[in-house]
A and B are shown apart, each in its own frame.
Chain A
Amino acid sequence: VTRPPLEAVHALLAGAPGFMPARASSAAAGVDQVFAFIFWVSAFFLALIVALTVVFVVRYRRRPGRTEAEVTPDHDNRLELLWSIIPLALVMGMFVMSTRAYLHLTQPEGSTSPPLKVSVTGKRWSWWFDHPNGKGAPELHLVKDRPTELVLASTDVIHSLYVPEFRLKQDAVPGRFTRMIFTPTLAGTYPILCTEYCGTDHSRMLAQVVVHPDQPSYDAWAREGLEAGASLVEIGKKVFAQRGCAACHSLDGTRRVGPTVKGIWGHQVKLADGTTVKVDEEYLRESILKPAAKVVAGFPNVMPPAALPERDLQGIVAYLQSLGETP
C-alpha cells in the first residue's frame, strides 16, 4: 500500500518516531508532536550537512588536473543572511509549538471531577505516596482520565520523579514543595524512576505507578489492606495540637493573636504590605518556617519561626486543607 506523500508527512508529525515509550498522560501527545517536528527538521539538516560534505569531497578533491581551487566569492551577505534566517524561523516554530505544549502540561485543564491530589515524598532510596483517603503506599495509584496533582517533597537530598510513559518529570527539592499536574490517559502499570543523582542506590530508587481503568477500581484498592502508619492529616492534627498552634490560631474562626486557620485553604489573604497571596502549600510552609516573611494585614508580627521536620510540614498542610476550603 503506497501512501500519498502529504499523508505520510502528516503521520510523521502526528506520531513520534517509532522508538518512544507508550503515551499514557495528557502531556504525551503534545510532547511527542514537538519531538517529531524537531526530529525531522534535524534529520533533514544532518542529511544535508553530510551529503554536502561527501559530494564536495568527491567532486573537489585535489588531484592531478585540479591542484588549485576555483575562484569563488569569499563571502555573500545575502546567502549568509538566508542561512541565518531559515534556522531562526525553524527554531521559532519549535519554540511556539513547545510553549503551547508546555503550558498545556503545566496548567490544569477544565474538568468535571476534582483532581486526585497525592503527596509524594522522596527519600534515600525510596518513594512514598500519601493518597487522599489517607492511604500511604510505596507505589502511586491514579485513575485513568482523572486530573491528578502531585505535590512533591524530599526529606533529604534532591530527587526527581520520572515516568517515561507520562513524558513528565519533576524534581523533589528539600525545603520546598514542587508540583506536577497532568491526567493519566492509559490504564496500566508504569515504572517510576529517580532522575536526580542521590547517592549509592540512586539507580535502585524505583517504584511504579498504577493507573486504574476507572474510579471503582481505584476505590477498591484504596480500601484494601492495612494503612501504613498514620495519614498525613492525622500527623498534622497531632503536630498542630502538640505545638500549641491553636493558642493563637483558632480552629473555629475566632479571632485570636493570629488569624484563624478555619477555611483559609485556597483563600486570597491580604498582607500587611498591601499585596495579596493565595494560601497554598508553599505559603503555609513559609509562614511556619519564616513567619515574618508574609504577615496577614491586621495582625502583629510576633510568631516565632518553627523549624518543623519535613513530614510534619506536610502533615500541617494536609490538616489545614482538610479543614475545608473557602466556601
Chain B
Amino acid sequence: MTAQATTPSAAAHAGGSYLEHGRGLRSWLLTFDHKRIGLMYLGAIVLFVLLGGVFALALRLNLWSPGGGLVSNDAYNKLFTLHGAVMIFLFVIPGIPAALGNFVVPLQLGAKDLAFPRVNLLSFWLFVGGAIFFVGTLVVGGIDTGWTLYPPYSLEESRGLGILLALSGVFLLGFSSILTGVNFIATIHRMRAPGMGWFDLPLFLWALYATGIIQIIATPVLGITVALGFMERVFHLGLFMPEYGGDPVLFQHFFWFYSHPAVYIMILPAMGIVSEVVSVFSRKPIFGYRFIAMSSIAIAVIGFLVWGHHMFVSGQSAWASLIFSFLTLLVAIPSAIKTFNWLATMYKGAIVLATPMIYVLTFFAIFGVGGLTGLFLGTLATDVPLHDTYFVVAHFHFVMVGAVMTAFLAGLHYWWPKMTGRMYDERIGSLSAWVTFLGFNLTFIPQFFAGVAGMPRRYATYAAQFTGHNRLSTLGAFILASGLLVALYGLLASLRTGRRAPANPWGAASLEWSAASPPSFHNFDEDPRGVRPYDFGGLVHVSDEAGWVREGAR
C-alpha cells in the first residue's frame, strides 16, 4: 500500500498528481499521458452527447402530433440522421473504451501508460478530425441519408457535398477506433504487472480485450466500405449503384459486417463495467470469473457471424436468412451467462447502494429488456413484420442508450474519484440514476407497442392511432434528459465542492485503487505486483476521509 492511501490529506500529493504535471493548453493537447487523453476524450464525448441529445429532443417534439409541424420533413430526416450518426460514431462507440478505458486500462494493469502512447494521441486527434468532418457536414446543410447510409439513396448526386464529408469523417473515426483497439490489445498482452496472469485481469480488461479484437478485425471493413462509397459517388465505379451496374445489397453486407459487431464494441465494455461494479458493491468476489471472461470472447467471435439478420427482408436467400437467424440466437447464451453470474454475485453479499451500483441495478432491467427483445428480431418469422418498425428503434435504444449509457454513467461515477480526486454527492448521483431510469422507460417502452402495431421507423409523420405512444415517448425523453443533466451537474459541482477522494473510496481490490486519487503522472510510485482483483478479504473501512485500507499492508 502506498503512502498516499493512508494519508487523508490531499495536500500531501496535490503537487504530484497528473493534473498538475505540466500546465498550459499545450501540456494537454500534445500529452502522451493516457489519463489526460482519457479526460480529453471524456470532455469531447460529453459535448457530443449534448449535441445528439438536442437533436433527439427536437425529433421528439416534432413527433408530438401525427402531422409533424415543428420542422419540415426534410429537416426531420436530417435531424434523425445527425442524431444517429453523432450518437453512434461520436459517443457510443468511443465512449467507454476511449474515455474510461484510456484512463483505467494502464492503472488496472499496474502499468505506467499504454503500450503506444504516441499512437494513443494520434487516435485522439483522428477522432477530433472525424468529428470536424461531421461538423462540416452540418455546416454544408446536413445529410438526410440515415446513419446507415444505404445506397442508392445515399450516393445520388443530389445528396451534395454533405455525404462526402460524412464518409470522410467515418473513415477517420474508424482509424481512431482501430488504433485504440491495437493499443489496448498490445498493452494487455505486454504490460501486465509482474505476477498478473490472464485470469488475474479485472473483467473490464477482458471486455476491452474482446472489444479490441472486434475493433481491429471489423473496423477496417467499415473504412474500406466508406472509401468505396466515396469512390462510387465520385468515379462511378459500379459497386453499389444499379445505374452504374452495382448492387446496393452488397453495400448492406459490407456495412453490417462492421456495424453489427460494432454493437458489441458498444455493449462489451459496458458489461465489463457492470462486472467490476457489481462485485465491489456487493463486497463479494465476482461469481464465475472464467465463464464471464470467456463469454466476452464468445460474444466477440459469434458477433462476426450474424450481420445478415439486418437483411432478412432485403431479398437475400431464405437459407442465408435461416443460418444468420440461428447464429444470432446463439448470442443469447453468453449474455444469459453474464446476467445470471452478476445476479449470483449479489447473492448473500453486503450490497452498498452507492450511485454506481444503482446504475448497475437499473442496467439489469434495461439490459434484460434490450437483450430479450433482441430474440424477436433474431428470430426470422417475427423479424419480418417487426423489421424497420419502432420495435427495432426501441430495442436498440434499450441496448445502446439504456444499457451502454447506464453502464457508462456507472463507470463514470465509479472512477470519478480516481480521475478527479473528488467525491461526487451521493444524493445527486442516486437521484440522477432513478430519474434517468424512469425517463428512459417512459420514452422507449411505448415504442415497442407502436412497433408491434405497425409504426415504421424514420417517419416524420404518422397515423393518428400512434399519437398516444408518441406523446408518452416525448414526455419520457424530457425526463431522461433532465436525469442526465442532474448527473452532469452532480459531477461538475463535485469539482468545486466535492470532498477530497481517498485512494480507495469503495473498498475495491483491483490495482487502480492502490494508486493515489488522482494518480501521479507515473501512476504508481513503486512498481505494483499483480493482485487478485476480486479478493476483498482484509480490506477495512477506516473513515470516509481515509477510505479503505488493506489490513497488514506494508
Interface residues of A (CB under 8 A from B): 19-21, 27, 30-31, 34-35, 38-39, 41-42, 45-46, 49-50, 52-53, 56-57, 60-62, 66-70, 72, 74-76, 79-80, 83-84, 86-88, 91-92, 94-95, 97-99, 101-103, 105-106, 156-158, 160, 162, 164-165, 167-171, 173-176, 178, 191, 193-204
Contact = CB atoms under 8 A, between A and B. Distances in A.
Given A49-B364, A75-B289, A80-B291, 10 more contacts: A20-B453, A57-B351, A68-B350, A91-B375, A98-B381, A99-B381, A102-B322, A157-B152, A203-B73, A204-B73
Contacts of B246: 175
6 A-B pairs closest in CB distance: A164-B454, A175-B242, A203-B459, A42-B372, A101-B381, A62-B350
Interface in B456-471: 456-463
Interface in B334-365: 336-337, 339-341, 343-344, 346-353, 361, 364-365
A61 B459 contact: no
B361 A57 contact: yes
Contact of B287 (A66, A74, A201): A74
Contact of B453 (A19, A88, A156): A19
B283 interface: yes
Contacts of A88: 330, 332-333
A173 B351 contact: no
Contacts of A31: 381-382, 384-385
Contacts of A61: 350-351, 353
A164 B465 CA distance: 14
Contacts of B365: 46, 49-50, 53
Interface string B143-178: 011100010110010000000000000000000000
Contacts of B463: 191
Given A91-B329, A164-B385, A60 B152 contact: no
B430 interface: no
A72 B453 contact: no
Nearest to B362: A53
B346 A57 contact: yes
Contacts of B282: 60, 69
A108 B370 CA distance: 35
18 contacts: A27-B384, A49-B368, A60-B282, A68-B350, A83-B336, A88-B333, A91-B330, A98-B381, A102-B380, A156-B152, A164-B454, A168-B384, A175-B242, A191-B463, A195-B457, A197-B150, A200-B73, A203-B461
Contacts of B460: 202-203
Interface string B274-302: 00000000111111111100000000000
A76 B249 CA distance: 46
A49 to B, nearest CB: 5
B372 A69 contact: no
B473 to A, nearest CB: 16
Contact of A60 (B351, B368, B373): B351
